[in-house]
Amino acid sequence: MPSVEQEIRQFIIDNFLFGEVERNPSNDDSLLEQGIVDSTGVLELVAFLEKQFGIQIHGNELVPANLDSLNKLFDFVARKTAIST
Amino acid sequence: MQVEVFLERSAARFPDKTALVCEERRLNYRSIEEQSNRIANGLIRIGVERGDRVAVCLDNTVDAVLSIFAVLKAGAVLVLVNPTIKSEKLTYLLNDSGARILVANGSSVRNLQSCLINAPALQTIVVSGGNAGAQSSLHRVTTLDNLLADHSESVQPPPKRCIDVDIAALIYTSGTTGKPKGVILSHLNMVAAATSVTEYLRNTADDIILNVLPLSSSYGLYQVLTALKVGATVILERSFTYPHAALRRLMEERATGLAIVPTISALLLQLDLSEYRFPALRYLTNAGAALPPAHIPRLQKLFPHTQLFLMYGQTECKRVSYLPPDQLDFRPDSVGKAMPNVEAYIVGEDGRRLPPGEVGELVVRGSNVMRGYWNLPEETAKALRPGPATGERVLHTGDFFRMDQEGYLYFIGRRDDIIKSRGEKVSPTEVENVLYRLEGVSMAAVVGIPDPILGAAVKAFLTLKPGVTLTENDVLRHCATYLEDFMVPKVLEFRETMPRTAAGKIDKRELAVQKEQ
């Protein structure tokens, strides 16, 4: 089974980079500054996280501190899934 | 008056007042004035002459604001470039404008390296945010920090080189031919537009304007220009990507003005805003594309203390009209009347003014009307035609409107097939041209389809050559290599055949209304 980290990375590559692995961001790259995610992209990302990991994300959690790099996403999902189990 | 005088006068009146807030930085008027003077003097020292084009390709940052004013203070022409631009298009813009200097951040310079060698007029690259390994064998490379540090003596503005009929900026806008057109704006054009806008919005030094729109767009740029003109404070957000971060800032900074496009409105209406209160927010403005009338009562409920201004304009004249907020309940589908010091009227095919109720092309008169399109005399002659006063040229907008008995304007449609997505103009031809370059594509057609968030979403129809297989990702990746983000199709449909018009062309009207095959 793929890890949470692999699943998130794959979603970003498939949906925002259209499979272009050369632009694969490093774990600390800002997804916003790299031009990978925009405002509608954030909504798609959040819908994916909720569905894939069975978590509920509240409006006030939609901030760069939770979502703007792969590492931040990994931490955020880890925190959320810890709460919901 | 020249555009940079907005800053110079406000800096003289309110030297210690906060002019700009960006992330954690807060800069007062004196600081913006002195730093942009230093950069301007630095630009002159490295050889910038009056009328030279300087391209600024930066996100919404302090450096972007400093660079914009420095270019104007140096008597050069500002060429604004969206930082999501791809190499090939940047090459086009640099060569079309003949830019001698490019201001960009280090990572863009690295990514765009390949295109810079194809821009022979380009001499110097000025890197924002440290050097970060940006190198070029063909160009002089310096940094904004160097320009700021090297000339510590020169905090005074350089002597004025321009008068107000000189060109202040080229703002590129999508053209129907697929090539972007550089809209030529004089200092007079921009000062006139900013003066009219601040008049009807009643902007004062007490305003705090939050800007989430790209400074590379006319709508975003004028948030800064108008704020600095009246001595207000402008808060720069990089974008509206994280609505809650922007809304928290809006609340905490007690912002009084916010400019939106319909996509931002659609996002706002999806959010739970119950934890926010915006008692200080005096106005919301909408431009870029028409706000769906259904949004209006919902926005009024979300922002009960705030006036909503619906506006219409185009880069060619910045702005044409606004609907006074007290008219919203009576004519929510109108974009209002001409703004102060501007006249707007409707003409028929023969160029004669039409009476109220009839549909025709909107014509705009005023000091805000552009000087023409850069290097495009034919396109210019189509858009700018003789007006009622001797020697005058008025703007034929290419947009169809009707006017009611009281002079209010109602948008009907465009003469061309430009798509308005996310408030940005997308040329179907430009997207189709990129699609046709993909090996295996036989026919390509691009249309706008209604989308609740984007206004119109870019949809591409493709037929492939026999025996070719392409996946959706193959096509989208190709598009993302050549097109700015907002132009990349959101929806793709592969088809066996394309519907044809009687003349044998691809029937786009039919495509736009057809259900998927």
What does the block give as tokens for B373?
């399109």
Buried b (16+ CB within 10 A) or exposed e, B357-390: eeebbbbbbbbbbbbbbbebeebbeebbeebeee
Residue B137 lies in a domain: yes
CB atoms B477 and A18 under 8 Å: yes
The CATH number given to whatever domain includes residue B409 is 3.40.50.12780
pLDDT tens track for A13-67: 888 887 777 778 889 988 887 778 877 788 889 989 999 999 998 877 888 899 9
Whole-complex ipTM: 0.71
Q: List the pLDDT tens digit at each of the 517 positions of chain B.
A: 999 999 999 999 999 999 999 999 999 999 999 999 999 999 999 999 999 999 999 999 999 999 999 999 999 999 999 988 888 889 999 999 999 999 998 877 877 777 788 899 999 999 998 765 566 667 788 899 888 887 566 899 999 999 999 999 999 998 777 789 999 999 999 999 999 999 999 999 999 999 999 999 999 999 999 999 999 999 999 888 888 889 999 999 999 999 999 989 988 998 888 889 999 999 999 998 888 888 999 999 999 999 999 999 999 999 999 999 999 999 999 999 999 999 999 999 888 999 999 999 999 999 999 999 999 999 999 999 999 999 999 999 999 999 999 999 999 887 778 898 888 889 888 899 899 999 999 889 999 998 888 888 999 999 998 899 999 989 998 998 889 888 999 999 999 988 887 777 788 888 887 755 4
Specify the number of domains making up chain B: 3
Residue where a domain terminates, one of B414, B431, B462: B414
Residue B279 lies in a domain: yes
| Domain spans, chain A | 4-84
Among A19, A40, A62, the residue with its CB nearest the CB of B453 is A40
B383 and B236 together in one domain: yes
Chain A contact set for B473 (CB, 8 A): 14, 18-19
B218 and B344 together in one domain: yes
Chain B contact set for A20 (CB, 8 A): 477, 480
Alpha-helix residue ranges (DSSP H) falling in B52-179: 62-73, 87-97, 106-111, 113-116, 144-150
Q: If pLDDT is split at 50, 70 and 90, which confidence band does A1 have?
A: low
Which DSSP helix (H) or strand (E) runs through B170? strand B167-173
Residue A48 Cα, gap to closest chain B Cα (Å) = 17
Q: Is residue A37 less than 8 Å (CB to CB) from chain B?
A: yes
Q: Is the pLDDT of residue A83 over 80?
A: no
Residue B403 lies in a domain: yes
CATH among 3.40.50.1820, 3.30.950.10, 2.60.120.260, 1.10.1200.10 for A4-84? 1.10.1200.10
B235 and B139 together in one domain: no
What does the block give as tokens for B217?
């767009």
Tell me what pLDDT residue B131 has: 62
B280 and B407 together in one domain: yes
B427 and B409 together in one domain: no
SS (H, E, C) B446-489: EEEEEECCCEEEEEEEEEECCCCCCCHHHHHHHHHHHCCHHHCC
Residue where a domain terminates, one of B371, B399, B414: B414
Tell me what pLDDT residue B112 has: 76
Which DSSP helix (H) or strand (E) runs through B425? strand B424-426
Q: Is residue A28 less than 8 Å (CB to CB) from chain B?
A: no
Q: Is B37 exposed, middle or buried (0-12, 13-18, 19+ CB in 10 A)?
A: buried
Which chain B residue is nearest to residue A22, measuring alpha carbons?
B477
B295 and B351 together in one domain: yes
B386 and B428 together in one domain: no
The CATH number given to whatever domain includes residue B147 is 3.40.50.980
Tell me what pLDDT residue B478 has: 92
Tell me what pLDDT residue A84 has: 62
Residue B167 lies in a domain: no
- Calpha distance B25→B19 (Å, rounded): 11
| Helix, strand, coil percent values for chain B (each to nearest 5) | 30, 25, 40
The CATH number given to whatever domain includes residue B508 is 3.30.300.30
Q: Is B212 exposed, middle or buried (0-12, 13-18, 19+ CB in 10 A)?
A: buried
Residue B185 lies in a domain: no
B236 and B124 together in one domain: no
Residue B370 lies in a domain: yes
Q: Which domain does B113 fall in, by range?
A: 5-13+26-162
pTM, 2 dp: 0.88
B383 and B241 together in one domain: yes
Among B243, B453, B473, the residue with its CB nearest the CB of A18 is B473
B359 and B251 together in one domain: yes
Residue where a domain terminates, one of B388, B414, B440: B414
Residue B170 lies in a domain: no
Sign of CA dihedral B213, B215, B216, B222: positive
* Residue B79 and residue B169 in contact, taking contact as beta carbons nearer than 8 Å: yes
